[in-house]
Amino acid sequence: MNLVVDIGNTLIKVAVVEDADVLLSQAFASVEELPVAALKEQFPELRHAIVASTGEDTLRVAEILRREGLQVLEMTSLTPTPIGNDYLTPATLGVDRLAAAVAAVEVMGCRDCLIVDFGTAITIDLVENGTFRGGNISPGMTTRFRALHDYTRRLPECSPTEQILEVGRTTHQAIEQGVMQGIVNEIEGYITGFMQSNAKLSLIFTGGDAKYFVKRIKNAKFAKCDLVFCGLNRILEYNASIEDERF
């Protein structure tokens, strides 16, 4: 049983993971809100933790965890992982992207897959033969809605819809369908392109906004939001198994 801390762009996400099962997950706006003592009381078997971040320094969170008696692995670009990584600039690779790839290969058993993470940004990452090859990044759904409102004089700020229309007949509908169908067309374009060179690819969706696109794009495995947590947990266990001196 491990504690996984994923410091994202807007929230600090925390999960208690046992094997590949997420027993509890929570999100917090600041470091001060982290209930580490309460989690240790609720889950007394907690011994190890991993802290990963897409931007902020992990040191402050790691110190809090160590004060509560946890052995902590701070993930960096130098942290060993159980899959290959062909990214040319590993120091700039978001740990969430690599962790999702690790979970896809090691937990879901998908050695050839296209992983689409629908968050603040949309990442489309390719894994082939169990190796992370790289991918692309574009603005996420909420980012697109906000940009249309913030950078125009009269367009309203809109939100996701379950409705699927060929054309919008109001401005709200036009923005809703334009943003969401634009993302669908973008992802389907990637699927078509990548599968021309590798027909074995599985399609995996994850991230907070993935639920809006499962019905719009066929043949996707919906990994919910647990994929990154499970990947980070697997990286922690992998490093523990090789008795890495980071602990």
Q: By percentage, how much of the chain surpasses pLDDT 70?
A: 97
Please state, in angstroms and rounded to a whole number, the distance separating the CA atoms of residues 129 and 98. Answer: 15
- Kindly state the percentage of the chain with pLDDT values over 90: 83
Place of tokens 């580490």: 36
pLDDT score recorded for residue 194? 94
CATH 3.30.420.40 residue spans of the chain = 2-108+226-241, 114-222
Q: Are 4 and 48 in contact (CB under 8 A)?
A: no
pLDDT of the residue at 245: 52
User: Can you tell me the mean pLDDT for 209-224?
Assistant: 86
User: Average pLDDT of 212-232?
Assistant: 86
The answer to whether the beta carbons of residues 221 and 205 sit under 8 Å apart is: yes
Query: pLDDT by residue (tens digit) across 102-141?
Result: 999 999 999 999 999 998 899 999 999 999 999 999 999 9
What end-to-end distance do the CA atoms of the chain give, in Å? Answer: 16
Q: Taking phi first (over 0 means left), then psi (-120 to 50 degrees means alpha), and beta for anything else, what does residue 205 get?
A: beta
The correct answer on CATH 3.40.1210.10 for the domain covering 2-108+226-241 is: no
**Residue 246: pLDDT above 80?**
no
Q: Which pLDDT tens digit goes with each residue over 1-11?
A: 999 999 987 78
Q: Which residues are catalytic?
A: 96
Q: What is the largest CA-CA distance in the chain?
A: 61
Task: Say what the pLDDT of residue 39 is.
Answer: 95
pLDDT tens for 144-167 read: 999 999 999 999 999 999 999 999
Least reliable range by pLDDT among 50-59, 97-106, 107-116, 174-183: 50-59
- Of the pLDDT bands very low, low, confident and very high (cuts 50, 70, 90), residue 243 is low
Q: What is the pTM of this model?
A: 0.89
Mean pLDDT of 48-74: 92
- The whole-chain average pLDDT of the chain stands at 92
> Which option is the CATH number for 114-222: 2.30.30.30, 3.30.499.10, 3.30.420.40, 3.65.10.10?
3.30.420.40
Q: What Cα–Cα distance (Å) separates residue 45 from each residue in 109, 151, 206, 233?
A: 28, 50, 28, 15
